[in-house]
């Protein structure tokens, strides 16, 4: 069987990025005991990642690089913001020092209500500097690994992937569901 759309694929791999000295360093590893498993063609992975694996068979090795433009894009300096520390107060009116720690990734709401992840870069006396860039923005990604298994996705798996809340509408934007009655409405 070959990797193609609607196939469940398990991979072991190592992903490298180039450090400031121009040498590759290991960023992520998924060993055989804890493989990456995804459904091919369902937009769960970067498009170029899936394209590079298309047609491979169980047991085949791979070695490819995805240019940063096709991965997480350029690093954008405008994505680094310094905000008033009061935006990070908890329900008791105190600074949330448990979650808002330099290096932590925290969820933030945009003006239009979307949730985005931000990395806390610096905490000042009256401000918090956050970085909205993906941690791999500006990085070429080098993958080396092996295809462990490939199988057909069953109808139930495809339904769960394509409509995770079964209402077919919310896809994580729980306010859009209204009356679907699924768990997504209970998290608000």
Question: Domain residue spans in the chain?
Answer: 7-72+137-186, 77-131
CATH of 7-72+137-186, picked from 3.40.50.10860, 3.40.50.2020, 3.40.50.150, 3.10.50.40, is 3.10.50.40
CA 167 → CA 41, 149, 173, 174, 175, distances in Å? Answer: 22, 31, 12, 11, 12
Its CATH class, for the domain covering 77-131, is mainly beta
CB 15 within 8 A of CB 143: yes
Return the SS3 of 34: coil
When pLDDT is averaged across residues 131-158 and rounded to a whole number, the result is 94
Tokens of 5: 């759309």
When pLDDT is averaged across residues 34-61 and rounded to a whole number, the result is 96
Give dist(CA 129, CA 85) in Å, integer: 9
Beta strands in 19-156 (DSSP E): 24-30, 36-39, 61-66, 80-84, 105-109, 115-123, 127-131, 141-152
The H or E element containing residue 185 is: helix 183-186
96-141: pLDDT as tens digits: 999 999 999 999 888 888 888 999 999 999 999 999 999 999 999 9
Whole-model pTM? 0.75
Give dist(CA 7, CA 110) in Å, integer: 35
Q: What pLDDT shows up at residue 175?
A: 46
Q: What pLDDT shows up at residue 166?
A: 53
């Amino acid at each position: 069987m070959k990797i193609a759309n609607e196939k469940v694929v398990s991979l072991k791999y190592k992903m490298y990025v180039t450090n400031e000295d121009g040498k590759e360093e290991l960023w992520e590893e998924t060993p055989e005991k804890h493989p990456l498993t995804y459904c091919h063609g369902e937009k769960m992975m970067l498009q170029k990642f899936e394209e590079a694996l298309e047609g491979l068979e169980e047991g085949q090795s791979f070695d490819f690089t995805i240019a940063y433009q096709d991965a997480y894009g350029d690093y954008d300096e405008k994505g680094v913001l310094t905000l008033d520390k009061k935006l990070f107060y908890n329900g008791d009116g105190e600074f949330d020092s448990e979650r808002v720690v330099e290096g932590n990734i925290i969820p933030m709401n945009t003006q239009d209500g979307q949730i985005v992840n931000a990395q806390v870069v610096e905490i000042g006396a009256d401000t918090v500097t956050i970085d909205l860039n993906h941690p791999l923005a500006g990085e070429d990604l080098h993958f080396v690994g092996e295809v462990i298994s490939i199988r057909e996705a069953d109808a139930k798996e495809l339904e769960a992937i394509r409509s995770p809340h079964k209402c077919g509408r919310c896809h994580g934007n729980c306010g859009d569901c209204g009356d679907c009655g699924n768990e997504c409405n209970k998290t608000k």
